[in-house]
Amino acid sequence: MAITVARLKEALPGILVEPPGLRWNPGDTPFFYYPPLETDWGQIRLLVHLQDEGRFLQFRSIDLFTLSENQRVREQHIEILLAHNYRKKSVQFGYDPDDGEVCAYVDLPFLDNEEISRRLMERVLTSIRLSGSDLLRELWQTERASPLPSEAPPKAGKERGMAVLLRRACRLVYGKLLER
């Protein structure tokens, strides 16, 4: 027997709320909001999604963090995400390249006769809270530590670029002549 919504509600230490509507449409499978997990660096709001006729359970964060618009900071954020994915085993992190939304997720496959326990659910939630807090801390610190980009230098036109090349060539030629 696969995991049912009733068994899931018994095992989770919290109240599942049916969402009124989301941007992300999971189809006909049941999904619920879970109360936000509090961390020192922000809340982690979760979506609990029961899929594949009760054989697969996913915990997924909603609006965990949005990557910076600054390309340099965004690249640092992506490096942090990749490092966390490498270090963490149960919680994985991803981002949407279109809008920069970062999410944390845990996937749990279940066999037909497998039991779902409150202890397992508490461990999953604790793992999400701790790993998500570590990630948020690093992302926020990177965001604050990175200076805003200064104004870009004016682009050199053809005349300016040609003058620089001529000056370099003259230094090279006349420098050699002066050494003789």
Looking up residue 106, the CATH number of its domain turns out to be: 3.30.1460.10
Comparing C-alpha atoms, which of 143, 145, 129 is closest to residue 67? 143
75: in domain? yes
> Which one-letter DSSP state was computed for residue 53?
G
Within a domain: 28: yes
Instruction: Tell whether 92 is covered by a domain.
Output: yes
Write down the residue that tokens 């594949």 correspond to.
Answer: 52
Asked whether residue 20 is assigned to any structural domain, the reply reads: yes
For residue 165, being part of any structural domain is answered with no
Domain residue limits at 90: 5-145
Asked whether residue 130 is assigned to any structural domain, the reply reads yes
One-letter identity of residue 102: V
Please report where in the chains the tokens 């659910």 appear, as a residue. Answer: 121
The total domain count for the chain is: 1
Who has greater pLDDT, 129 or 146? Answer: 129
- Give residue-wise pLDDT tens across range 61-115: 988 898 888 888 888 999 999 899 888 888 999 989 888 899 999 999 887 767 7
Contact 110, 14 (CB under 8 A): no
Regarding pTM above 0.75, the answer is no
